[in-house]
Structure 1
Amino acid sequence: MKPYQAPAWLPGGQAQTLWPLLIKPQPLKLRRERWTAPDGDFIDVDHLDGPPDAPWLVLFHGLEGSARSHYAISTAYACQAAGWRLALPHFRGCSGELNRRPRAYHSGDSAEIDWILRRLHTANHGRPLHAAGVSLGGNALLKWAGERGSTAAELVTGVAGMCAPLDLAACGHHLAHGFNRVYTQHFLKTLKAVSAARLRRFPGLFDEIRMHQASNLYQFDDAVTAPLHGFAGADDYWQRASAKPWLKSIAVPALAVNPTNDPFFPASHLPGAADVSPLVKLEQPAGGGHVGFVSDGFPGNLDWLPQRLLHFFLFETT
């Protein structure tokens, strides 16, 4: 499959990031299941059903994403057209209802990835799954694959991370400057609202004043994400949750697509061949923005990302 090339009428990483929000199609009707997590909490998983022997793709969403994110909707349509099944797990608190436990989710949540994949693997009668993640979900998935090494092949045919923030410190600090602060404020609006609701349920869980005062992701992660999930602070969280150090340990076919004009991730911090195992394919196109990948004539469509995933799992994981 040809590498991604942005249309001439949509120049620049910012425009390529934002345009999909204007052209995303209406979501398909999916079947929702509520699963009980190992700690008694719950997650909601949306399913595009199909024959039990059809290929099964699991797609992990990004920060504050859901099955209604544009990349999830476009992937659902592509899977429907190809006759594939699709599972869209929601990280805790992202399906429209606050989760039961104090914890939420984070960029290095490989333990959450693991039990979800194991449950889907069992439901698939022991056949390996195709596993992909977008942005935060891609980072967590690639980290999981690196941690599991050769045992990852027991559950998946391969893994794909699309626009994963592989170096969280580089991404977090980059989002605190210039126009990127627009994205930061968008994330903080929903993160703070959910965190405030969590604090009402669990008083004293973290410092409410610091949470409300946070003006960037570093301050929010230092005040909320880190203490909720057992990290010493934002620096500790960003270091330990980044997937980049684990890329050398991946022992299943893997794809990492990171446009060099992604406003979330400075190109100077992208991994090179020396940073990854021989099974990791790096694609770093000049265009695409952050999970943009708009293609074809005006106003464009969002087919490239799901088609890249299907092609990878059909032809590049054997």
Structure 2
Amino acid sequence: MLTRSDFNPAFWLRNAHAQTVFASKLRPSPPLEIERERLELDDGDFLDLSWLPERGLADDAPVVIVLHGLNGSLESKYARGLLRQADARDARGVLLHFRGAAEPNRLPRSYHSGETGDLDTVVQHVRQRFPRASLAAVGYSLGGNVLLKYLGEQGRHAPLACAVAVSSPYDLKCCAEAIQHGLSRVYQAHMINGLREAYEHKFSVMEAPYPRPDFKTLRDFPSFDNAVTAPLNGFKDADDYYARSSSRPFLKHIRTPTLILHAEDDPFMTPAIIPTQADLSSAIRFELSSHGGHVGFVAAGRFGEPVYWLERRIPAFLQQHMPDFERCSQGDTTQEAG
């Protein structure tokens, strides 16, 4: 179902860029304790998981798996904020660092918008560890695209009780084109610089499988994906990568109760990317807001203080589909600056 969101932006953050930058850069980093786990993979590589500390929870306590965006990590404030909400509700929470996101991985391949195999490995790992627990997954931006594609691939066999995707790039080619215009180019430059640094570091400690491109010449996503992402991950070129990895064609096959949150003013893409009702399966609730930016959604509380609305809406949806995901017993923590 495609419906309007009840999100209202803070009166001092109605601009899409203000929403995006405030949530990602100006918000104090929510404090968080974590326990690290390295999951060894059958192909010789590894994935790093960051768990909330065990606090004597029951074996059937629900588990929330968090998927970060491009260049994201445990340091991403949206991830830390949601994990704090899970902790406050006596649920387990774990952040999946995609392959190579936390530190250089062992193989030339990397994570990308369509890589769902690693997510499936982690879901099965969590299911084996907590066989009686209900599982949910929440993905942001690139992580949202991965999650939606995974749910569509799995169909009725998806082992999740519910899922949430925020600010997802449903059509990667359209997004790669849209972010090359106007002020959005600032975001593109920032993300490309992060990717460039990561790959330069990676190939300084391991041999590249083909002659390294001149990273300084790769200044937009089509050129970067054509020269790096596609060949490293088995795609013919950037267009092949975009076509095979975009989540939009998979939405109609999703059978897991799924909430999708999206803002029409998302500066990473244009409104043309927004799926239609015909694209959605009956299991999807797509909430569309006029404002919110990219993974922003900052509202105002008493005296105008920031309220991180995603950390209200997402737990409310999880509670609908995971009864054990209870309301915080110690008060609402969504307005805390830290």
Task: Note whether the superposition's TM-score is higher than 0.5.
Answer: yes
Counterpart contact for 2:30–2:77, Cα < 8 Å: no
* Separation in structure 2 between the aligned mates of residue 253 and residue 317 of structure 1, nearest angstrom: 11
Q: Deviations over 1:234-287 (max 9, x none)?
A: 111011100000000001111111111111121112001111111111111111
**Helix, strand or coil at the partner of 1:59:** strand
TM-score, normalised relative to structure 1: 0.94
Question: What code does the residue aligned with 1:85 have?
Answer: R
Counterpart contact for 2:20–2:295, Cα < 8 Å: yes
* Separation in structure 2 between the aligned mates of residue 17 and residue 231 of structure 1, nearest angstrom: 31
Check if 1:116 corresponds to 2:125.
no
Aligned match of 1:139: 145
* Separation in structure 1 between the aligned mates of residue 280 and residue 259 of structure 2, nearest angstrom: 11
Q: CA deviation at 1:126?
A: 4.7
Aligned match of 1:164: 168
Counterpart contact for 2:69–2:140, Cα < 8 Å: yes
- Structure 1 residues 1-318: aligned runs within 5 Å: 3-20=6-23, 21-48=25-52, 49-50=54-55, 51=57, 52-95=59-102, 97-152=103-158, 155-297=159-301, 298-302=304-308, 304-316=309-321
Counterpart contact for 1:253–1:317, Cα < 8 Å: no
* Separation in structure 2 between the aligned mates of residue 295 and residue 148 of structure 1, nearest angstrom: 35
TM-score, normalised relative to structure 2: 0.88
Question: What code does the residue aligned with 1:276 have?
Answer: L
**Helix, strand or coil at the partner of 1:258:** strand
* Separation in structure 1 between the aligned mates of residue 272 and residue 10 of structure 2, nearest angstrom: 24
Q: Comparing 194-203 with 22-31, which one deviates more in the overlay?
A: 194-203
Q: Deviations over 1:60-83 (max 9, x none)?
A: 000010111010111122112222
RMSD across aligned positions (CA): 1.8
Counterpart contact for 1:211–1:224, Cα < 8 Å: no
**Long gaps (5+) in structure 1:** none
* Separation in structure 2 between the aligned mates of residue 68 and residue 211 of structure 1, nearest angstrom: 25
**Long gaps (5+) in structure 2:** 324-338
Query: Identity of paired residues, percent?
Result: 36
Q: Deviations over 1:74-123 (max 9, x none)?
A: 1122112222211101012222x211111110001111111111111111
Counterpart contact for 1:60–1:134, Cα < 8 Å: yes
* Separation in structure 1 between the aligned mates of residue 119 and residue 6 of structure 2, nearest angstrom: 28
* Separation in structure 2 between the aligned mates of residue 118 and residue 265 of structure 1, nearest angstrom: 33
More helix by percentage: 1
Q: Comparing 247-256 with 126-135, which one deviates more in the overlay?
A: 126-135
* Separation in structure 1 between the aligned mates of residue 83 and residue 26 of structure 2, nearest angstrom: 18
Aligned residues: 314
Question: What code does the residue aligned with 1:307 have?
Answer: R
Counterpart contact for 1:162–1:256, Cα < 8 Å: yes
**Helix, strand or coil at the partner of 1:283:** strand
